Amino acid sequence: MSGVVSAIWRYPVKSMLGEALEAVALGPGGLLGDRGYAIRDLDTGHVASVKHPRKWRRLLECRATFLTEPRADLPLPPIVVTLPDGRHLASDDPALPRALSDLFGRAVELVSRAEAPTREANRAPPDAEPDTEAIRVEPMGLAAPGTFFDYAPIHVLSTRSLRTVSDMAPTSQFSVARFRPNLVIDTTSTAPFPEFEWLGDTVRIGGADLRMIDPAPRCVATTLPQPGLGADPAVLRTIARCPPVASVTAAPGVPLPAALGGYATVTGSGTIRRGDPLRVVRPTTPGDRRPA
């Protein structure tokens, strides 16, 4: 056994706060319902993402939850969005688009599908001043085409990795909430970043199999304020001090800087529960790993 699932998180709306789960079904698209919805900017057509903080940082003041549990054989169920002022508006309430447009100061709509979604992201270097911008338009879901994921459908983060970076910057808060993983893994591994040891491997959690396909590069979103957490540029700067990690899938062998946590795809559908063990079922040595 390489670890235990200590938390499961699903985010019904891209870049909004999500919901903690005790159990969830996993399919080819990840956790059922995860990033099933997104906010779309009616002016640009881009999906709203906190990777462009000047426009969208207030997404992290909103929370989305499903009214009923999603099912693989049915359309997505409606959600309820909790706004910063405490209002709870359902996805089918005509007041929701107006309320969101007022919140962001621009016309937006809630969408559940897009053929080739794009987003704007601030790619200023980690050591730049907080208000520095280098905005790029980027495709989404490269490992899960047509979705609202940043890259892949599953994001795995270990408590050991969080302890490693926390020890590097004790005055910063390396809360799980800053990194928005789906699965938080508690492990007794002595490796500073256990997820990187699993890259290229298949791991089994409960009834599901995942293939760990790449490290997860971090961005300005990890530094933003959200309920219970203040703005902290040192979070990203600390991660950027860690050694780069070689990509397995996106750019095999290319070192990716500022990575924390790992991306995965679902290779065997099933249900996972909090407390399930994580086991590496195809262990390899780094030299034997094959691009996914």
- Give the span between the Cα atoms of 2 and 163, in whole angstroms: 17
Report the mean per-residue pLDDT for the chain: 95
pLDDT digits (tens, 9 = 90+) for 193-250: 999 999 999 999 999 999 999 999 999 999 999 999 999 999 999 999 999 999 999 9
> Which stretches of the chain are DSSP H helices?
53-56, 95-104, 159-168, 176-179, 194-197, 234-240
7: tokens are 């938390």
Query: On the CB side of 195, how many CA atoms lie within 13 Å of its CA?
Result: 33
- Give the span between the Cα atoms of 134 and 154, in whole angstroms: 27
C-beta of residue 135 within 8 angstroms of C-beta of residue 220: no
Which of 192, 287, 186, 188 shows the shortest CA–CA distance to 246? 287
Which of 48, 35, 50 shows the shortest CA–CA distance to 108? 48
Q: First CA to last CA across the chain, in angstroms?
A: 23
Please determine, for residue 38, whether its predicted confidence score (pLDDT) is greater than 60. yes
pTM of the model: 0.94
What dotted CATH number matches 3-288? 2.40.33.20
pLDDT digits (tens, 9 = 90+) for 153-202: 999 999 999 999 999 999 999 999 999 999 999 998 999 999 999 999 99
Please determine, for residue 291, whether its predicted confidence score (pLDDT) is greater than 80. no
* Structure confidence at residue 287 (pLDDT): 47
